[in-house]
Structure 1
Amino acid sequence: MTLLILLLFTVAIAVATLLPLWRNPHWSVRSFDFPRLQLAVLALLLVIIDLLFLDLSWPLSWVLIVVAGLSLASQLWWILPYTAIWPKEVKDARAKSPDRTLAILTSNVLTPNRNVEALLKLVEQHQPDILVTLESDQWWEDQLVALENEMPYTIKCPLDNLYGMHVFSRLPLHESEVRFLIEDKVPSMHALVELRSGDSVRVHFVHPAPPSPTENDESTERDAELVIVGRSVADSNEPVIVTGDLNDVAWSPTTRLFRKVSGLLDPRVGRGFYSTFHADYRLLRWPLDHLFHSHHFTLASITRLPSIGSDHFPLLTRVMLAPARGQDQEPLRPDGDDRNREREIAQGQSAGKHDVPEPGE
């Protein structure tokens, strides 16, 4: 009986590990991109239990141990870059330079959540230069209007479909634009931020819809939005930041493809997961809220902030414009298969990089 139970668990872990390698965009396949940390823990426990309870003189026992071990190794390959044992992809900022520092607080507020006071307290405490709210409807816009006294530069798109978005900024925003890149009811925001030093930074705020049984059956819309934004910023020689709730984990093939296509860096590599979802379930958390930037920046700090009653934790990232120090920071590089994949994804949605606004270009 013990052997049968462990055999069933081993098959389940192996299937959960192998299934994401299939490029099928259906949500039932892509959902296995998310819980790699949890699956790695289960695979490790399975290896330990196998060694303790199986008769190691049986060849089948070693087959189960090897399969579980390979599943563990595969999961670790994806997630280890987001631990402190990995080299940092983004350098630490050296001296403080407030005029060249940009602090962005990203918060998926959860539309029915009404704990606006908690978010306002975080803004007051941390004084971000830019606040980005996702899932914010007209009610949230009305409640956050008080921020405009100190953050007068805004971009607003209140929606009641879980895809509303607002930007509040202390710094001037130029060439601001709301664009529905792939889906008619899923906005993105694009602007040029003027730092206190006078330097300009091209910023893109995104929140593509996830593959799920309640949203899109497939990940094609999400993947296409990330690809065309990535292709657009790859052509820029100016400082660039892309941030928001990508509805995708940091280690997924799609996010890795975005990083390769865009040439942007992930400050979490070598530092930690900074898992922002789900705020209510400690054992079911993964990083869905992201900030990627060009080599022009180094990292001052990245912090997951306390819950505001949403299913997402807010994420506060402070980057410093330091082109000389950051010039040798190396992003992921695309190969021929990546180039073919990005073209296939974009063409599948009849979308291209020219659909993405290019402020400052």
Structure 2
Amino acid sequence: MKIVLVVLALLLVIATALPLLRFDQWWIRVFDFPRAQITIAGLALLALYLYFWKARRVYESVVLALLVLAVGYQAVKMFPYTVLMPKQVLAAESRSDDTDLSLLVANVLMENRDSEAFLDVVREYDPDVIMAVETDEWWEEALRTLEQRYPHTLKSPLGNTYGMLVYSRLEMIDPEIRFILKDSIPSMHLQAVLPSSDRVFMHFLHPDPPNPKYATETTERDAELLIVGREVEKRDKPTIIAGDFNDVAWSYTTNLFQKTSGLLDPRVGRGMYSTFNAKNPLLRWQLDHVFHSDHFKLVRMERGPAWGSDHFPIFIELSLESGAEAEAEQEEPDTNRTEGEKVDEKIEDGKEHKDE
């Protein structure tokens, strides 16, 4: 029994330590994801350690200490996504139909064919803008009824699980489909015009996951996120970046992206809002994200219901604040010199990887 516990504890320590290596191989980066699962397993192992072992050998004590460090590290990384952390985005004190913007982000699971269930979700939340990913030609046809209420669209349906459809009842300015690093992976970029005539820059992304089936390295995924982050870095205009990032909020890359872009995460101080896997409660983490500039405060954010996809949808409603009040009250993140150099390096690596 002792040797089994030692081996299991060492495996959890290794799983915790691997993401600290700044390598892009998928089998390393994938350990960014299951922090909650590693923490729970680690706590269970700690309890077994304390229950079974009254006297320990030196190596057993060393393994126990490493396990405590691993569990503590995982807890620290998850702590911002608990209600114990101060909120990064403040709650809106008032709201106005003229300056509020609501968004529904949903990965539909391409082979899923229950479009009516998804339309029920849309009807329930009635968002201003809908972003749907993993949408092929079948989904484009099935969702065409949305165009009665959402006349402004931007579409790139694809049969490779990277199709994307955007529907808006707000006017779109300069809508653009870009293929940032891969000709098979689109991203959507536009300005949405609020009833107040204010414009909001919106960027929708869905890069490769760290998975040997799709990408054996995360080089291009990381670079795509950081390229868009750099694009909005000096804008100082109302901005939202959302999508299925195929990365978690507490990863090194997403942390760099947030600092580079200067955008805020409304989940900080509120919860994890884990969206994947909707079909497996034991393996669940955040893959779908909404980041926004400090021009906004939060009206409401919800993880939507399970409806047939392997992702839960995310709904968010934001209030565009007048003047500089929200910007003064909400501190935007920023990179230091070392982090800025790392961003440059990762972007350059992604571009070189594209050319190979």
User: Contact 1:51–1:65 at 8 Å: present in 2 too?
Assistant: no
In the alignment, the residues of structure 1 paired with residue 104 and residue 56 of structure 2 have an alpha-carbon distance, to the nearest angstrom, of 56
Report what 1:17 is aligned to. Answer: 16
User: Contact 2:222–2:350 at 8 Å: present in 1 too?
Assistant: no
Shift of 1:5: 1.3
Q: Give the secondary structure class of the aligned counterpart of 2:282.
A: coil
Shift of 1:48: 1.5
Report what 1:348 is aligned to. Answer: 349
Q: Give the secondary structure class of the aligned counterpart of 2:50.
A: helix
Shift of 1:61: 3.9
In the alignment, the residues of structure 2 paired with residue 282 and residue 35 of structure 1 have an alpha-carbon distance, to the nearest angstrom, of 12
User: Contact 2:220–2:351 at 8 Å: present in 1 too?
Assistant: no
Q: Give the secondary structure class of the aligned counterpart of 1:270.
A: coil
Q: Give the secondary structure class of the aligned counterpart of 2:159.
A: coil
Report what 1:358 is aligned to. Answer: none
Q: TM-score, normalised by structure 2?
A: 0.96
In the alignment, the residues of structure 1 paired with residue 9 and residue 121 of structure 2 have an alpha-carbon distance, to the nearest angstrom, of 45
Which has the higher mean CA deviation after the structures are superposed, 64-73 or 30-39? 64-73
Report what 1:357 is aligned to. Answer: none
Report what 1:226 is aligned to. Answer: 225
Deviations 1:288-324 (A, max 9, x none): 0000000000111111111221111111011110153
Shift of 1:216: 0.7
The one-letter amino acid paired with 1:63 is V
In the alignment, the residues of structure 1 paired with residue 350 and residue 28 of structure 2 have an alpha-carbon distance, to the nearest angstrom, of 20
User: Contact 2:207–2:224 at 8 Å: present in 1 too?
Assistant: yes
Deviations 1:105-128 (A, max 9, x none): 011001111110011111112110
Q: Where in structure 2 are the equivalents of 1:1-361 lying within 5 Å?
A: 2-56=1-55, 58-323=57-322, 324-328=324-328, 329-350=330-351
Cα root mean square deviation, aligned = 1.2
Q: TM-score, normalised by structure 1?
A: 0.95
Shift of 1:280: 0.4
Deviations 1:69-117 (A, max 9, x none): 1001110121110111111100011112121111100110011111100
Q: Give the secondary structure class of the aligned counterpart of 2:143.
A: helix
Shift of 1:58: 4.0
In the alignment, the residues of structure 2 paired with residue 350 and residue 184 of structure 1 have an alpha-carbon distance, to the nearest angstrom, of 13
Shift of 1:270: 0.6
Q: Which runs of 5+ in 2 are unaligned?
A: none
In the alignment, the residues of structure 2 paired with residue 159 and residue 325 of structure 1 have an alpha-carbon distance, to the nearest angstrom, of 42
Q: Aligned in 2, Cα 1:17/1:198: closer, same or farther, shift over 3 Å?
A: same
User: Contact 2:140–2:165 at 8 Å: present in 1 too?
Assistant: yes
Q: Which runs of 5+ in 1 are unaligned?
A: 352-361
The one-letter amino acid paired with 1:5 is V
In the alignment, the residues of structure 2 paired with residue 148 and residue 347 of structure 1 have an alpha-carbon distance, to the nearest angstrom, of 40
The one-letter amino acid paired with 1:214 is K
In the alignment, the residues of structure 2 paired with residue 275 and residue 293 of structure 1 have an alpha-carbon distance, to the nearest angstrom, of 18
The one-letter amino acid paired with 1:67 is L
Q: Give the secondary structure class of the aligned counterpart of 1:151.
A: coil
Shift of 1:162: 0.4
Q: Aligned residue pairs: how many?
A: 350
Which has the higher mean CA deviation after the structures are superposed, 284-293 or 91-100? 91-100
The one-letter amino acid paired with 1:155 is L
Deviations 1:262-309 (A, max 9, x none): 000000001001110011000100000000000000111111111221
User: Contact 2:174–2:191 at 8 Å: present in 1 too?
Assistant: yes
Shift of 1:57: 5.4
Q: Which runs of 4+ in 1 moved over 4 A?
A: none
User: Contact 1:27–1:217 at 8 Å: present in 2 too?
Assistant: yes
